[in-house]
Structure 1
Amino acid sequence: MPAQLEPGVLYVSEEFETAAHLCACGCGSKVRTPLGPTEWQFTNHPQGPSLRPSIGNWQRPCKSHYWIDRGKVEWSTEWTPEQIAAGRAAEERRREHYYAELYPDRWWVRVWRWLKSMMSS
């Protein structure tokens, strides 16, 4: 990734499975999105790039929320703190399910689940 990102450009490194861009709202924040089966998906269409799921900049002052679809930014609504927490929990469940399916008999998967249950208690 270049040190200086240009507005309106989505930078993608397939080698390092990551994408980066400047926040679409214009605040100048760098947004980095990991790419992979449990993270964001990058698709390059003839009309332009797409990144799924949406980008929610909940930790930034702008709190912008948008989609990058075929080279265009599509704005979405700002989420409430409850929606953000629910979205994060759903992401974690998808990751857990993906890795449990990938490595069902691995002892460390069971240990990880047990540790997570102890920390959330």
Structure 2
Amino acid sequence: MPKLLEAGILYVSEDFHTAAHICACGCGQKVRTPLGPTEWTVRNDTRGPTLRPSVGNWQLPCKSHYLITNGNVQWSNQWTEQQICAGRQKEHARRTEYYEARKPQVSWWRQLLDLVRQKLGL
């Protein structure tokens, strides 16, 4: 990832699972989006890159909200503070669900064995 980003370019680092660009509103702020199963995804084809989900720059003064689709910016509606809070809670729940589903499951047999060992002081 270069230190100085050029406006209008979406930079993607597969090694570091991140994308970055200059905010589409023109404020000049760097926007970083982590890439992964619970974060953003990038698809690139001949029409240009697509970044999903939308970019909501809630932490920046501009609070811009947009999609990058086929290399073009599509402006989205401005969110209220309540919508931002609800969106963050939804993201947290989605991440929690994703990682909980990937935890190794302990079989009932293993749980019983652990309980017996605990009762016997083993």
Task: Decide which moves more: 41-50 or 96-105.
Answer: 96-105
C-alpha distance in 1, partners of 2:9/2:19? 10
Which whole-Å CA distance do the structure 1 matches of 2:65 and 2:104 have between them? Answer: 35
Secondary structure of the corresponding residue to residue 91 of structure 2: helix
Larger Rg, first or second structure (1 or 2): 2
Counterpart CA distance in 2 for 1:34 and 1:7 is 19
What SS does structure 1 have at the residue aligned with 2:93? helix
CA RMSD of aligned residues (A): 1.0
Deviation, 1:105, is 3.5
TM-aligned CA deviation for residue 104 of structure 1: 4.6
Match of 1:48, as an amino acid? G
Instruction: Specify every segment of 5 or more residues in structure 1 that has no aligned partner in the other structure, as ranges.
Output: 107-121
Q: Secondary structure at the match of 2:12?
A: strand
Residue 17 (str. 1) matches residue 23 (str. 2): no
Which residue number in structure 1 is paired with residue 83 of structure 2? 83
Question: Match of 1:97, SS?
Answer: helix
Distance in 2 of aligned mates of 1:82 and 1:65: 15
Which letter maps to 1:50?
A: T
Counterpart of 2:101 in structure 1 is 101
How does the TM-score come out when normalised to structure 2?
0.84
> In the alignment, which residue of structure 2 is the partner of 1:4?
4
| Runs of at least 4 residues off by over 6 Å | none
TM-score w.r.t. length of structure 1: 0.85
Name stretches of at least 5 consecutive residues in structure 2 with no aligned partner: 107-122
With over 3 angstroms needed to count, the CA separation of the structure-2 counterparts of 1:44 and 1:64, relative to structure 1, is: same
